[in-house]
Chains A and B, each alone.
Chain A
Amino acid sequence: MTALDIPPSLAQARPTSIFVVAIGLSGTAVMSATWHGHAHPGGQSLLHVALQAGLMTAAMMLPLAAGAVSVIEERTLRRRRKQAVTEHAAGFAVVWFLFGASTWLVVAPAAASFGKATLFAAASAFAIFWQLSYRRRALMEREAALGAAAVSGLRAAAGTVRAAAGEGIRCMKVCWPSMLAVMAAPNIAFVGAWLAVYFYEWLPGPNPHGRRRRLVPAVGYALVAFTALAPATPPPS
């Protein structure tokens, strides 16, 4: 067993799921290169907000959509599988894009009012609390079926997008506090820390309650990382 065993959906190596993950990795790279700290006091242009939300969606959320790719492909005629996966990615991403863009518009003024450090500390504390809560765990383990679309035509496309949006909303209910913390983060390393927590959480291994026990030290490590990174945080621009 290596520490980095990949989940079964990816282990099945569907080319389209690799494609979706690749978009996510590209988004991560661009986001890393352009990161200046999100919650700038003061106004931001809509274009900038849209760009940041889009990058966050591509980098952090699309890889999560890859888990459903094998089900999407199976439920689709071979000739339109690629199209269906694209529709799924779009439907999933649009939920997170709207969440990201609308939250950004709130985070920036909040940072201006309360201070960037205060906002980040409050968002992180809430995210850690949520991460360890029973409520989140119950939502994460809740069984939910991906909607089955029509076989062909516009109804097929609409059904796939609608099902993906439902999947995106379920995902958002589980992850929104940590995404809020990420958006208030002053340093790209904090984003990496949250990604590490997520990845650790989804590694194969213990059963649900064992998984939770494993999560506690993970969040502890993240806190240590946050503390260590704090001095390196650039002052608000």
Chain B
Amino acid sequence: MTVRKRVSSQAAAADLSVYAEGVRLMKERSKIDRMDPLGWYYQSRMHGNPQATERRADEPEDWSQCQHGSWFFLPWHRMYLRQFERIIQALTGEPEFGLPYWDYPSASSITIPKDFLDPASPLYDEDRNFGQSTVAAPTWQDQRRFDLVGGRASEVPIHLGEFPGFLEQNPHNPVHGAFGGNMGTFQSPLDPLFWIHHCNIDRLWEVWLRMPDRSNPDSRSWSDTTFDFPDPADGRRRIRVSDVATTKAAGYDYDELTAPAESFRGSLDMSRDRDQGDVLELLGAAKGGSVAERHEVRLERDAVADRFARAPEASPQPLFLRLENTGVGGGDATQMWNVFVRVGAEDWLLAGTIAPFGLAGLTERGGRQTLTFDISHLSSALLEADAPIEVKFEPARRGVTAEPFFERVAVYTLPE
């Protein structure tokens, strides 16, 4: 069984060499024929185009098929990576090759593996616009519902859906945003960093699954959906989501699957988190606007009383801040904004980061995304005080000019 290793480890050195050789061979194939399905360019267009628009009628049906903003985000990318790995194995004649994963602690503390910084290496991409950013810490590990972690259910596959999960929002999007260039667009697979970045996201899905009380959706609408990919052995391969629902099912493993520590929410009775079919409970909302402004949300006291009437006295409680129908006029994923919240005279707390990966293209064609941030650490102050929650935004890296906007800012809790 293929074992994927940490890119910075000594054990991954051989795989990294094979990876570089495989990328070189794929680039060569694209130079000869840009429409070669096993070539570097074709593979990148399977993910998308720089504007993140839909596939045009004159393009191959494989192109612009990546899934973001829905519950297909994790399985589609797992299939994509697995097929990519098979291509490298076939082209290099290294059947044991495992794609290395890039175990950055967060998007705020990224160290680029040195092999990717050498201009003579096939792993180098001159288009990078790396800028150190300061973003919020990920909170995916605290969530127990798949829809919160992996994205909301979508009736049909969708290129860029409305409800991304926590893993997609952070660290996935901010790492794209830290680089810009190709990595900041939907043609990001042109940068070899893309593949080791997504390999880590794939690993984190498996880490999450192995934590207590976590599970994938049990809906057949999820598990029976299939996607088609070029395959070095079979020409084409149709893969079912259930075929990749775990790394074991997909036929590979990771050398390291230690779960990160949960934040304080791990001590709460979160049994209701597992009821994935029930919708969240709205507690209050206010009209939205731009990230250039401050916003206030006052909770509906009767909604709070109704929801928490039978809740245990213990605090904190699960609370989520949502920026509903968020859009942005232009810019790429580097246009990141941090979201700060506070209640009363408390200090501002960094609740999350808006990293608009693909959002400008989505906005241009009328779509929007709803972004969710865990603000449970404010629950004691917010639920007990009769004060509104204040929300403000600050750029998360230099050179940010595009200002996202949203239709409504709302506070939710988990259903009873």
Contacts and interface: CB of A to CB of B under 8 A. Distances in A.
B125 interface: no
A216 B161 CA distance: 26
A98 to B, nearest CB: 22
Contacts of A76: 282
A231 B131 CA distance: 71
A146 to B, nearest CB: 8
Nearest to B409: A148
A148 B325 contact: yes
A208 B76 CA distance: 13
B329 to A, nearest CB: 16
Interface in A131-186: 134, 138, 140-145, 147-152
Contacts of A150: 285, 287
A209 B156 contact: no
Interface extent on A, as a size class?
A: 35 or more
Contact of A142 (B220, B366, B412): B366
Contacts of B306: 78-79
Given A8-B219, A138-B54, A151 B284 contact: yes
B182 interface: no
A18 B202 CA distance: 36
A202 B324 CA distance: 26
Contacts of A211: 156
Contacts of A7: 155, 221
A88 to B, nearest CB: 14
Interface stretch (A9-17, A100-108, A189-197): A9-17
B404 interface: no
A204 B65 CA distance: 17
Most B C-beta atoms less than 10 A away, residue of A6, A12, A74, A141: A74
Given A145-B325, A148-B325, A207-B226, A74 B282 contact: yes
A78 B154 CA distance: 23
Contacts of A1: 220, 224
Most B C-beta atoms less than 10 A away, residue of A77, A144, A211: A77
A206 interface: yes
A158 to B, nearest CB: 13
Contacts of A36: none
A43 interface: no
Contacts of A142: 54, 365-367
B277 interface: yes
Contacts of A151: 282, 284-285, 300
B160 A205 contact: no
29 contacts: A1-B224, A5-B224, A6-B221, A7-B221, A8-B155, A8-B222, A11-B221, A67-B155, A74-B280, A78-B282, A78-B306, A78-B307, A138-B54, A142-B54, A143-B158, A147-B407, A148-B285, A148-B407, A148-B408, A151-B282, A204-B220, A204-B221, A204-B222, A204-B224, A204-B225, A206-B226, A207-B225, A210-B227, A210-B228
Q: Which 9 A-B pairs have the closest CB atoms?
A: A143-B367, A145-B368, A74-B279, A8-B153, A209-B61, A148-B408, A134-B57, A204-B221, A148-B324
Given A5-B224, A12-B279, 19 more contacts: A7-B221, A8-B153, A8-B222, A74-B279, A138-B54, A140-B156, A142-B54, A143-B365, A144-B367, A148-B324, A148-B407, A202-B156, A204-B220, A204-B224, A206-B226, A206-B228, A206-B238, A209-B61, A209-B65
